[in-house]
Amino acid sequence: MIFVDCCIYIRWLRDRADIFAELGDHLRRGDLATCGVVRAEVLRGIVSVPVRERMELLFSSMHEVAMVPELWTDVAQLAWALDRRGEVLPLTDIAIAACAQQAGATVITTDPHFAKIPGLKRSCSGRCVSKSTTCRLPLARAVDAFAGYARMSLTTWPWTSVRRNWRPWNL
C-alpha cells in the first residue's frame, strides 16, 4: 500500500505533471491510500474548478483511511511521545502518519518531519516531482485505461483561472 503525502501532490500540481499517469498502476491495483487531511490540504489550494474536480476523482478512487476516534487517540499518543522526546511536529503530519500506519502503507514524501516518526515506513530519496526525476518510487510509465481520464494530462487542463504569482501552499 502506498500513501502519497500532500507535498508530492502539490509539487505535481505545480509542475503540471500527469498525476493519473504517475499513479496509474497503483490505481489499477488498488494499493493507494489517503485520508481526509491529505485530501483537504491538497484541494484547498487548487484554484481551477476542473483541476479540483479531477483531483477529487483521483482521491475518490483511493482507499480512504477513516479518521475515527480511535485513530485520534493514536495521534494524541504519538504526538505526546514525540513531544516528550523534544520532537514537536505539526499535528497534520502526525495524523497523516497515523493513517498510513493504520493502512500498513509506505508514505511517499519529501517532508523531513516524517523521518522523526518511529516505525513509519516512508520512501523518497529524491525530489519526487515526476518519473523523470530521482525519486525512487516505482510509479507507472503509462496507463492503458482509468475512468476515462487515463491519457488526460494536467498540462491540458484549463489553467486560465490561476492568478499570477499566487502561491496557495507554503512550500
Taking only the tens place, the pLDDT of each residue in 8-31 is: 999 999 999 888 888 888 988 999
Q: Looking at per-residue confidence, does 81 or 154 come out higher?
A: 81
The structure's pTM equals 0.72
Summarised one tens digit per residue, pLDDT across range 41-67 is 999 999 999 999 999 999 999 999 999
What are the domain boundaries of the chain? 2-67+105-112+119-156
User: What is the separation, in whole angstroms, between the first and last Cα of the chain?
Assistant: 26
Smallest CA-to-CA distance from 44 within 71, 78, 9 is with 9
Smallest CA-to-CA distance from 23 within 115, 171, 154 is with 154
**Cα(30)–Cα(25) distance, rounded to whole angstroms?**
9
Give CA angle at 53 (49, 55), nearest 5°.
Answer: 115
